Amino acid sequence: MTGPGSTPVLTKTVGASGADKGPGAPGGGRARRALEGAATPLRGLAGLAGLVILLQVLPHSGLVSADYLPPASEMGRALWGLLAEDAFWTALGDTLTGWGLGLAIAVVAGVMAGIVIGSVPVLRAVTASTIEFLRPIPSVALIPVAVLLYGTDLRSKLLLVVYAAFWQVLVQVLAGMQDVDPVADDTARSYRMGSWGRVRYVMWPTALPYVMTGVRLAATVALVLAITAELVIGSPGLGNQIAVAQTSGAVPRVYALVLVTGVLGVAVNLVARAVERRALHWHQSIRREG
Amino acid sequence: MLDVRNLQKIYAGRNRSVEALRNLSFHIGAGELVCLVGPSGCGKTTLLKCMAGLLAPTSGEVRLDGRPVDGPPPGMAVVFQEYGRSLFAWMNVRDNVALPLRRKKLGKARERELVDHALEVVGLADAHQAYPWQLSGGMQQRVAIARAVAFEPKVLLMDEPFAAVDAQTRAELEDLIRRLWHELGVTVLFVTHDIDEAVYLGQRTIILSASPTVVLEDLTIDLPDERDQLHTRSSTRFAELRAHVYEQIQRAKHHNGDTDPPMADRSDELALQKSES
Amino acid sequence: MIRTTVLTMARRVSLVLGLPAVLFAVWWFATAGSTDFYVPPLSTILQKFGEVWTGERLLSDVLPSLLRLTAGYLLAVVIGVGLGLVVGMSRVARDVLEPVLELFRAIPPPVLVPVIMLFAGIGDTMKVLVIVSGCMWPVLLNTVEGVRAVDEVLSDTCRSYGITGTSRLRHLVLRSASPQIVTGMRQALSIGIILMVISEMFAASNGLGFTIVQFQRSFAIPEMWSGVLLLGLLGFLLSLLFRFAENRVMAWYQGLRRAQRNT
């Protein structure tokens, strides 16, 4: 897979990191790993605790002004305050609506376009250069257009989210459709399976893991763009809340909101990963054979 | 030269520990070619890693020229089974062979000479600029051997180096090892699970038990020094030795450090000579 | 013989340029004589493109943007790879820092703009810092991943040949992590472009993002469209440049993958 690292706006294919590990590892490797594995979550918690302590100490030490970086306790208080506000939950809802709706549109459109283009070789050849041209266009370039056309409306947000997420899905679906095992395809042909049958029973199952990767990447990108739209255009949502807090000088609130967006990002990533793993679980054996 | 004394290796885990090596002792003289054979999963790789200084034993020690091995010793080169993983995929053949020499600061001319010669003797004189992944498995293993040769080691450890190549290539590579050993006068320890190979290659074959591992037998291979694939392998003596090692390995599958005392003296219908060194 | 090559060449050119040409033509003719204020004729946009972006603005807006992007991106790569090596090579450091790094990486980079403005005002420093703080994470985390995945056999090989210290770092660790590092750098590049634009849209007195928003606010619609076009072109060219560099530096890796796929 593309490292747990495949976030925002990126990577082309699944399995980007290469070398297959052959048999290796001496007999006791597993035992050793089990020993080390036990400490891992604790160490991770220690790391997070360390960050909180650092944030608490830094402003007090005078190294950084508390005006810019309030101590962790104040951020915590601001966060607590947020959780009691209706406005916060509305904003969170707005962000998630834009994210979910945009992602759904992008996935449906990306998958459909991918299947059509991927199953017709001529279409694939003709569209390749156009896709390569359109994909790297930063979707923030569309911000002025979105503002002009839709103002701070939800559609503005959707335009950015869908544009950014669509390519993630499309490119992965195309890569997946191309990964079809020639033997499987020949088998399907020899059983006189029609072209729709080949798409349905040969290409689609092969492409599914790629689709899931595409959805995972798109989910992260969609969140980034939803919040960006709110921040820059001013559509209602967490991003807009941050902009408002910043202009009104509510510094701890800015940090609390930033933390919320981070946690949201982690959550999106974890959920997308879990969904992907489930989808891949039964699939793995099929791919191995192929 | 190379001494293994009461070597024991236990992998400690949280709930259980695995004793891979029980109690191993043997000696390899300077300039010898010794094969180490044992049933699958008998800790051969663990033993080799301990000898190469890549893994610290739980107790016992390995000595090279009288000095205990506590890290990779300078005069030693290792050739691993996984040729695909032991070469630098981002370097061409020549750089792969030359890299370990850089630290020796031999001077450009000497370095070039060593690399040229090493690639020449393994039969890769034309492949200097190729990348490892452009070569077949057998050729890749030749690169790894050339790298070891250029390093001018006193001891060459080989961990099942031909386990992953096809049979014909394997025969060629076996003869290559015999030839290099003759020409370079290097001490070679050759680990294998292939019984034919264990008999064909060495002057001695050390047979290991199943894990936890002990030495079952230290067998002298009294075949003539001049060997070739056709005649040696069809000789009666080869067949006898092979059958003997085969029996021992079969036995070894059910015997280990827990069931057998180390170096048990066995009645031996073939009346083979044992060398107790 | 020559005829067939010419034919395949022609075929390839038509495949590459065919659809873009059609799309261009559709845009051109669909908007030709357009009276919709928001959708000016393509001919007008292209004419403005020439006027707006070739003169003084090239130096006063495009260049500063690109310089900030370059500075921020390179800094992020250096910091990301450096820290990634340190974290990746120590198991303890990896365990301790991984959740923290994952959290930082999950923060949508644009929200860092208001935070960094607190510290660094609205000058060049702020914009470069924003780009660094957004681009760093994918490089860092991918480097960690790459360093962690250094092959055990290769690592043993290096040890037994006495290749240690900086030599090991240079010839083994960095090189074998390079596919992941490049993946991280590719992700970082697209984030960098986004942040370059966002930071300028938020608060700036020059730059691409700033100018385009100015056009939009003053309803200079054809000029705005030409800016959108320029941003798109920039994204495309930078990714082309990146791919060109990648093909050169990572030729060994692409060859290796091809070899593995064929077995």
* Environment class of A105 (CB within 10 Å of its CB; exposed 0-12, middle 13-18, buried 19+): middle
Neighbours of chain B (3+ CB pairs under 8 A): A, C
Residues in chain A within 8 Å Cβ distance of B48: none
When CB atoms are compared, the residue of A22, A26, A29 closest to B85 is: A22
| Structural element, H or E, at residue B190 | strand B187-192
- Is the Cβ–Cβ distance between A17 and A5 less than 8 Å? no
Q: Is B49 on the interface with C (CB under 8 A)?
A: yes
Set of chain A residues whose Cβ sits within 8 Å of the Cβ of C91: 36
Q: Kindly state whether residue B271 falls inside one of the protein's structural domains.
A: no
Q: Hey, is the C-beta of B77 within 8 angstroms of any chain C C-beta?
A: yes
Q: What is the CATH number of the domain that holds B156?
A: 3.40.50.300
Q: How confident is the model at residue C260 (pLDDT cuts 50, 70, 90)?
A: confident
Helix (H/G/I), strand (E/B), else coil: C73? helix
Task: Identify which of A27, A29, A38 has the shortest CB distance to residue B14.
Answer: A38
**Average pLDDT of chain C, as a whole number:** 89
Residues of B in contact with C260 (CB under 8 A): 133
Question: Residue ranges per domain, chain A?
Answer: 68-289
Q: What is the pLDDT of residues B174-195, one digit of tens each?
A: 999 999 999 888 999 999 989 9
> What is residue C2's predicted lDDT score, i.e. its pLDDT?
66
At A38 the pLDDT is 54
Contact A235/A153 with Cβ under 8 angstroms?
Answer: yes
Size of interface A-B (CB pairs under 8 A): 49
Closest chain B residue by Cα to residue C259: B133
Q: How far is CA A59 from each of CA A72, C118, C219, rounded to the nearest angstrom?
A: 9, 14, 44
Residue of chain A whose Cα is closest to the Cα of B212: A27
Q: Is C110 helix (H, G, I), strand (E, B) or coil?
A: helix
SS3 of B59, please?
Answer: strand
Contact C157 B89 (CB under 8 A): no
B64, β-bridge pairs: B2, B67
Chain B, nearest residue to C155 by Cα: B86
Q: For residue range A152-189, list pLDDT tens digits in order.
A: 889 999 999 999 999 999 999 998 888 777 777 778 77
Task: Domain count for chain B, please give it.
Answer: 1
Nearest CA of chain C to the CA of A139: how many Å? 8
Backbone angles phi, psi at B169, to 5 degrees: -60, -40
Cβ distance B103 to C151 less than 8 Å, yes or no, reads: no
Q: Which residues in chain B touch residue A31, judged by CB atoms under 8 angstroms apart? A: 11-14, 16-18
- Please give the Cα distance from A6 to A184 (Å, whole number): 30
Q: Which residues of B touch A26 (CB under 8 A)?
A: 11, 20, 43, 45-46, 49, 55
**First and final C-alpha spacing in chain A:** 17
pLDDT tens figures, A101-160 = 999 999 999 999 998 998 888 888 888 888 888 888 888 888 988 988 888 889 999 999
Instruction: Tell me which residue range forms the domain holding B117.
Output: 2-203
Q: Which architecture characterizes domain A68-289 according to CATH?
A: Orthogonal Bundle (1.10)
Domain C39-261: which topology? Answer: MetI-like fold (1.10.3720)
Looking at the domain assignment, is residue B253 inside a domain? no
Q: Is the complex ipTM more than 0.90?
A: no
In B, minimum Cα distance to A38 occurs at: B14
> Do A22 and B16 lie within an 8 Å CB cutoff?
no
At C109-138, the pLDDT tens digits run: 999 888 898 888 888 899 999 999 999 999
- Angle in degrees, 0-180, between the axes of helices C91-106 and C124-148, rounded to the nearest 10: 140
Burial B250-268 (b: 16+ CB within 10 A, else e): ebbeebbbeebeebeeeee
Q: What backbone phi and psi angles, to 5 degrees, belong to C121?
A: 65, -145
Residue B123 counted as domain residue: yes
Task: Find the length of chain A.
Answer: 290
Instruction: Identify whether B220 is part of a domain.
Output: no
**Amino acid present at A166:** F
